[in-house]
Amino acid sequence: MTGRHALGASLIVTALCSVLLFILIVQGQSRFSYVLDDPYIHLSMGRNLAQTGMMGINAKEVSFSTSSLGWTLLMVIPHFFVQDATFFPLILSFLCALLIVFLTSRLFSSLPPLSLLCLLLGLAALVPLVPLVFTGMEHLLHIALLAGLFLFMAKNWPDSRVTTVPFLPLLLFFTLLPAVRLESLFLLFPLALLLPGFSVIQRLGLFVASMVLPLATGVIFHRFGWYLLPNSILAKTLFAQHGDPLWLKPFLFPYKLLRTPHLLVPFVVGGYLFVTRFHKIQHRSMVFLGMALLGTMGHLSFSQTGWFFRYEAYLVFTYTVAFTFVFMEIPFHRKRLVIPLLLLLAIFRAISSHGAVVRASRNIHDQQLQLSKFFAGARVGVNDVGAISYYAGGYVLDLWGLASMEVMKLRQNNAHGGTPLARIAQEHDIELVALFPSWFSGRLPPSWIPMGQFTIAGNIICGDSRVLILATSYKSHLRWRNKLHIFFKTLPERTVHSFFVQ
DSSP notation for 180-238: H-GGGHHHHHHHHHH-TT--HHHHHHHHHHHHHHHHHHHHHHHTTT--SS-HHHHTTTT
Cα–Cα distance for residue pair 100/447, rounded to 1 Å: 52
* Nearest alpha carbon to residue 448 among 478, 420, 476, 470: 470
DSSP per-residue codes, 389-409: HHHT-S-EEETTSSS-HHHHH
DSSP per-residue codes, 150-184: HHHHHHT--SSS-----HHHHHHHHHHHHHH-GGG
Q: Are residues 322 and 454 in the same domain?
A: no
Main-chain dihedrals φ then ψ at residue 469, nearest 5 degrees:
-110, 125
* Nearest alpha carbon to residue 46 among 1, 102, 85: 85
Q: Are residues 491 and 433 in the same domain?
A: yes
CA atoms within 13 Å, Cβ hemisphere of 272: 9
Cα–Cα distance for residue pair 462/384, rounded to 1 Å: 9
Q: Are residues 379 and 416 in the same domain?
A: yes
| Total domains in the fold of the chain | 2
Q: Are residues 319 and 401 in the same domain?
A: no
Cα–Cα distance for residue pair 425/407, rounded to 1 Å: 10
DSSP state of 233: H
Q: Is position 221 within any domain?
A: yes
The gap from C-alpha 277 to its chain's centroid, in whole angstroms, comes to 34
Q: Is position 73 within any domain?
A: no
Q: Is the dihedral of CA 331, 110, 175, 129 positive or negative?
A: negative
Of 310, 330, 350, the residue at which a domain comes to its end is 330
Q: Are residues 166 and 244 in the same domain?
A: yes
Q: Are residues 172 and 309 in the same domain?
A: yes
Q: Are residues 256 and 373 in the same domain?
A: no
Q: Are residues 166 and 262 in the same domain?
A: yes
Beta bridge partners of 455: 466, 496
**Helix 313-327 / helix 88-107 crossing angle, nearest 10 deg:** 10
Residues in the chain, total: 502
Cα–Cα distance for residue pair 288/349, rounded to 1 Å: 23
Q: Is position 234 within any domain?
A: yes
Question: Tens digit of pLDDT per residue, the chain (502 long)?
Answer: 566 778 888 999 999 999 999 999 998 888 999 999 999 999 999 999 999 999 999 998 999 988 899 999 999 999 999 999 999 999 999 999 999 999 999 999 988 888 898 899 999 999 999 999 999 999 999 999 999 999 999 988 876 666 678 999 999 999 999 999 999 999 999 999 998 888 999 999 999 999 999 999 999 999 999 999 888 888 766 555 555 566 667 778 888 899 888 899 899 989 988 988 877 766 888 899 999 999 999 999 888 887 788 999 999 999 999 999 988 887 765 666 667 777 788 888 888 899 899 999 999 999 999 999 999 999 999 989 999 999 998 999 999 989 999 999 988 888 888 899 999 999 999 999 999 999 888 889 999 999 999 999 999 999 999 999 999 999 999 999 999 999 999 999 999 998 886 6
DSSP per-residue codes, 331-381: -GGGTTTHHHHHHHHHHHHHHHHHHHHHHHHHHHIIIIIHHHHHTTT--EE
Q: Are residues 184 and 221 in the same domain?
A: yes
Q: Are residues 314 and 244 in the same domain?
A: yes
Edge-to-edge, what's the strand order for the sheet holding 380-382?
396-398, 380-382, 432-435, 466-471, 449-455, 496-499
Q: Are residues 391 and 309 in the same domain?
A: no
Q: Is position 15 within any domain?
A: no
Contact 121, 7 (CB under 8 A): no
Q: Is the dihedral of CA 110, 115, 117, 119 positive or negative?
A: negative
* Nearest alpha carbon to residue 71 among 307, 230, 240, 209: 230
Q: Are residues 397 and 254 in the same domain?
A: no
Domain span at 261: 153-330
Q: Is position 135 within any domain?
A: no
Cα–Cα distance for residue pair 100/323, rounded to 1 Å: 17
Q: Is position 63 within any domain?
A: no
Of 330, 346, 367, the residue at which a domain comes to its end is 330
Contact 101, 74 (CB under 8 A): no
Of 330, 347, 373, the residue at which a domain comes to its end is 330
First to last CA, the chain: 71
